[in-house]
Structure 1
Amino acid sequence: MQTASDLNLSERKVLDIIWRLGPIARTDIGPLTSLSTMSVSRITRELADRGLLSEEVHRSGGRGQPSRPLIIKSDAACSAGVYFSSRGLQVGLIDLSGQLLAHDSVAVEASRPIDVARAAAERISYFCKQEGIPEEKIVGVGFALPGDFIADRKRLNAHAMFPGFRGNDLEAELQAGINKPVYVENDAASAALGERLLGVGQTINHFFFAHIGHGIGGGLVLDGRLYRGARGNAGIIGVQFPNDQPRPSGQDLFAFLQKNGVEASDFEDLEFLRPQTCPPLKTWIARASAQLRERLWITARILDPNAIIIGGRLPFHILQEVVARVDDETFCNEGVDLPRPKVFASSLGPLAGVVGAAVLPLYSRYFISD
């Protein structure tokens, strides 16, 4: 009997469409996948037999048979994700339809990968008991790592705040602390993936995701797929902002606020700050937005995406302020009528990281992958 990991490319294409656009009729899937009506019918029947799809009955009130659009069978599988902050971890659990079933912040004393994995495993077990989910339903755990990959993706040029993640085989070190398959990605790429499958990027095939976390990074989706590059580092825009100068990053924001008498050392501390009542925050937003605008203009002209999505760890109200300053009628307007990319705030907001991490196992096992 085949398992989910045995899915071929056509089956993955069909599942990907239903995941993002469902409920959807079989007749609408073919044109979106270049598959024949007969092939779509056969594939969807086989996927339903494996317990991955179900039909949702729609009645229009008229005569005849009701329509039966296809949806992902949400309880067929679950996966978990882990995302980092300076105070610990965000751990989340999603089902196969992408619904966030549970999430929480977890304090971790030690910073070794095995300790992080053990803390995550404990919280995932708690979620399963809380939600009544058998642990065998968990197909994997995704880790959105705070840094960029070196050479063979086993090593990480970790952010300075996470020195324990500079080992020689991070995936193996994480795997030693958890009894589920481990999937690793850098935090910006995983957030871009989450946005593609569950956020505003669901219907956008080409976009650049600017990720504001402790640092500043990016993820790239081309033709509907996460583009990782030769070494898994496509999208690094942080190099355009020297570390010894002001830059549009979380760490820079905390340092600026503290210098101006505002106590803030992590993103949770920003939830109740408003630029209207916090002049240092307003000043930082104006400066950081101008920096992002200039570099994203260049990035947009090099990559030619349909859209730029700005997200990461900033609270949604601050993110919206940044996007409003980046996106106006003059952005990417050279006066020669070139198409301008749309600019969006991440619809997942600060949850994009943990959702994106949780998506990693599902993406690898069920949907369009490398």
Structure 2
Amino acid sequence: MSVSGLAPFDRRGHHRRVVLDALRRGGPASRAEIAAATGLSAQTVSLVADELCRDGLVKNIGRRATARGQPPIDLMLDVDGGYSIGLQIEPGGLTGVLADLGAHVRAEIVRPCKTATPEGTLPDIATLVDDLLVKAGVDRSRLWGAGIVLPGPFGAVEEAEPDSLSMAAWSREAFDAAFSAALKMPVLVDNDATAAAIGEHLLGVARDLRTFVYLYLSEGIGGGIFVDGRPLAGAWGNAGEIGRMVISEDRRGCPVTLEATASLSALRSASGASDHVTADELFAGDPRVVAAWFDAAARVLRIAIANLENIFDPETVVLGGQLPETALKDLASRLEPLPPTVSARAGRCRPRLMLGRVGRASPALGGATLPLFSGLTLQPRVVKVRQRPAARPRVPADTGPGKRR
């Protein structure tokens, strides 16, 4: 460990990520344009670009057509330069996707599975990974890693009563090291809301944002919080458990949470629907029940958004999740006008509330973005600690080729 306590700075890795991030964000560009955009010297960009081309992460797409002078040679990110696996774990089933560096899904498999414990599910996950590789025609050596997504909270969380929406056998104990050894690749574990936020940052409306909050509405409610371009983990890996936000009290003085009012499970309970009823079927149900849910959800979400804005001062709040697109748009319209907060200011360049673009894509795709985010974006110089906390880090800074319900 250095005297300052900081992890040794990986200059070469940093420069590689700078160039990859520039091409990911800006698209094809010449070496000179990359140097101008990143502040790196022309010599450094040339050396790094040549290395990335040899590694198959960047490709030369030829000279650009120009009116005069020597046309520049453009480079672009090679989406076939690497792949990642995303795995969504849910009661009774697995969803797996294989995605390329552009986060395009190359293969997807959904199958029933007993998911009571990580160790009991590992053989099925190993088989699913092999089947995804065969289906996509991808060699295992090209994998950057796997991202496993499941509901939080993580770690030894004491609760007054069991949370029926969580998967305690998975989220209470770290299993990533055992899975990494068994699958022979880096394994990152996170909650589905943070993974969805990373997906929006890589592919959606948050592509150019540094600080934003992603509200993930599904059976429960989670939040992905980005601060200065990085997902916020919290001391124990549970930042963003927005669904547990207390927004009122009932007649007995017991706390009422956001999740108990504005989630799909709240609508399911009010409708008397079983777990097998889909989200589309829920919103196609009794109009009076659905209208009452919209009214209640909008009322408490306006409070939640105001609190989030005053705490994090985000560039915007992104609304997404597993609601049907029409229902999500209807809910967003009912949230306006938002209450006055520190975010209500003149001269804003974007609305305070935006709908996510990734939509209802499988949460497994969010898992697949975890290794991509880790390898394609700039990494902070983190403080090294002697003892790992009970909840593992969201996106390890040394993983290469980055939530809740």
In the superposition, the TM-score normalised over structure 1's length comes to 0.83
Residues 1:125 and 2:134 are matched in the alignment: no
8 Å CA contact retained: 1:114, 1:175: no
Cα-to-partner distance string for 1:55-81 (whole Å, 9 max, x where unaligned) = 334754745555543221111211101
Q: SS of 1:8's equivalent?
A: helix
1-structure distance, mates of 2:358, 2:120: 28
Q: Where does the alignment leave 5 or more consecutive residues of structure 2 unmatched?
A: 1-9, 247-254, 380-396, 398-405
8 Å CA contact retained: 1:83, 1:89: yes
Supply the AA of the counterpart residue of 1:256: A
8 Å CA contact retained: 1:93, 1:103: yes
8 Å CA contact retained: 2:320, 2:355: yes
Supply the AA of the counterpart residue of 2:291: K
Supply the AA of the counterpart residue of 2:338: F
- Give the equivalent residue in structure 2 for 1:287: 296
1-structure distance, mates of 2:196, 2:190: 10
Supply the AA of the counterpart residue of 1:345: L
Residues 1:325 and 2:334 are matched in the alignment: yes
Q: Which of 187, 190, 211 matches 2:195?
A: 190
8 Å CA contact retained: 1:114, 1:177: no
Residues 1:92 and 2:92 are matched in the alignment: no
Q: Which of 365, 377, 383 matches 1:367?
A: 377
Residues 1:10 and 2:2 are matched in the alignment: no
Cα-to-partner distance string for 1:218-260 (whole Å, 9 max, x where unaligned) = 11112222222332222222231456783222322221222xx
Q: Which of 65, 71, 74 matches 2:76?
A: 71
8 Å CA contact retained: 1:59, 1:66: yes
Cα-to-partner distance string for 1:1-55 (whole Å, 9 max, x where unaligned) = xxxx995222212212222332334344345433234433332222222221013
Supply the AA of the counterpart residue of 1:331: L
1-structure distance, mates of 2:302, 2:377: 33
Q: SS of 2:153's equivalent?
A: strand
8 Å CA contact retained: 1:264, 1:270: no
- Give the equivalent residue in structure 1 for 2:355: 345
Q: CA deviation at 1:185?
A: 1.3
Decide whether aligned partners of structure 1 residues 86 and 206 sit closer, same or farther in structure 2, where only a CA change above 3 A counts: same
Q: Which of 12, 15, 25 matches 1:20?
A: 25
Supply the AA of the counterpart residue of 1:318: A
- Give the equivalent residue in structure 1 for 2:309: 300
Q: CA deviation at 1:300?
A: 1.0
Residues 1:48 and 2:57 are matched in the alignment: no
Q: Where does the alignment leave 5 or more consecutive residues of structure 1 unmatched?
A: none
Q: Which of 74, 78, 81 matches 2:86?
A: 81
- Give the equivalent residue in structure 1 for 2:275: 265
Q: SS of 1:56's equivalent?
A: strand
1-structure distance, mates of 2:74, 2:330: 39
Structure ranking higher in helix proportion: 1
1-structure distance, mates of 2:193, 2:205: 16
Supply the AA of the counterpart residue of 1:255: S
Supply the AA of the counterpart residue of 1:358: A
Q: SS of 2:95's equivalent?
A: strand
Supply the AA of the counterpart residue of 1:247: T
Q: CA deviation at 1:358?
A: 0.6
Supply the AA of the counterpart residue of 1:296: I
Supply the AA of the counterpart residue of 1:253: L
Decide whether aligned partners of structure 1 residues 80 and 218 sit closer, same or farther in structure 2, where only a CA change above 3 A counts: same
**Identity fraction in percent:** 29
Q: SS of 2:148's equivalent?
A: strand
- Give the equivalent residue in structure 1 for 2:7: none
Q: Give the superposed CA RMSD.
A: 3.1
Decide whether aligned partners of structure 1 residues 367 and 336 sit closer, same or farther in structure 2, where only a CA change above 3 A counts: closer
- Give the equivalent residue in structure 1 for 2:117: 112
2-structure distance, mates of 1:313, 1:232: 23
Q: CA deviation at 1:176?
A: 6.3
Q: How does 1:208-287 map to 2 (within 5 A)?
A: 208-241=213-246, 242=255, 246-258=260-272, 263-265=273-275, 269-272=278-281, 274=283, 278-287=287-296
- Give the equivalent residue in structure 1 for 2:249: none
Q: CA deviation at 1:111?
A: 1.6
Q: SS of 1:229's equivalent?
A: coil
Cα-to-partner distance string for 1:116-162 (whole Å, 9 max, x where unaligned) = 3332332222222122111222221111121123379xxxx986442
Q: SS of 1:338's equivalent?
A: coil
2-structure distance, mates of 1:26, 1:118: 46
Q: SS of 1:205's equivalent?
A: coil
1-structure distance, mates of 2:139, 2:194: 29
8 Å CA contact retained: 2:179, 2:187: yes
Supply the AA of the counterpart residue of 2:328: L
